[in-house]
Every structure is written in C-alpha cells, then in structure tokens.
Amino acid sequence: MAWSPKPSRHTRWLTANCGDYYVPKKFAVNVGIFAYVKSDSPLCRMVVTGVKEEVVRKEIKQIVCA
C-alpha cells in the first residue's frame, strides 16, 4: 500500500466547497545533470571514436527589388 499524506484542513475545505477542484495525490520530480569536459582536464579527455562524413546542400537566397 502506498503512503498517502493526511489531507490538510485547506484541501478538505476545497474538496467540500469547490466541486471541480482536483486535489493531486502524487507528483513527479525530474532532475537533469549536464556536464562539460574541460580541455585541460587531467582526468577526462575527448577521444575520437569514429568519423561521420556528411554532404550538406543549402540554398543561398537574397532579396532582389526592381
């Protein structure tokens, strides 16, 4: 059985007096960790593990007015 906190006096009042009010029972927390490798770091370094070659074609446009 999951633990559920006891509703506070305020949430009980809201559920009793506000018909469409929704009291959330759960919430989620997402944490992201981002790191960068310093170029002069003695412990971590960038290593080339492969090469991927791409051909990119872009249109060059300009505005021409008469």
Residue spans per domain, the chain:
8-48
Q: Which residues contact 7 (CB under 8 A, 6 or more apart)?
A: 15, 23
> For the segment 10-51, what is each residue's pLDDT rounded down to a tens digit?
777 777 777 676 667 778 899 999 887 777 777 777 788 899
Q: What is the mean pLDDT of residues 44-59?
A: 87
Q: Is 11 exposed, middle or buried (0-12, 13-18, 19+ CB in 10 A)?
A: middle
Per 3-state DSSP, the chain is made up of helix, strand and coil in percentages (nearest 5) of: 15, 0, 85
* Whether residue 66 has pLDDT greater than 60: no
* Whether residue 2 has pLDDT greater than 70: no
Which pLDDT belongs to residue 31?
95
Which pLDDT belongs to residue 23?
65
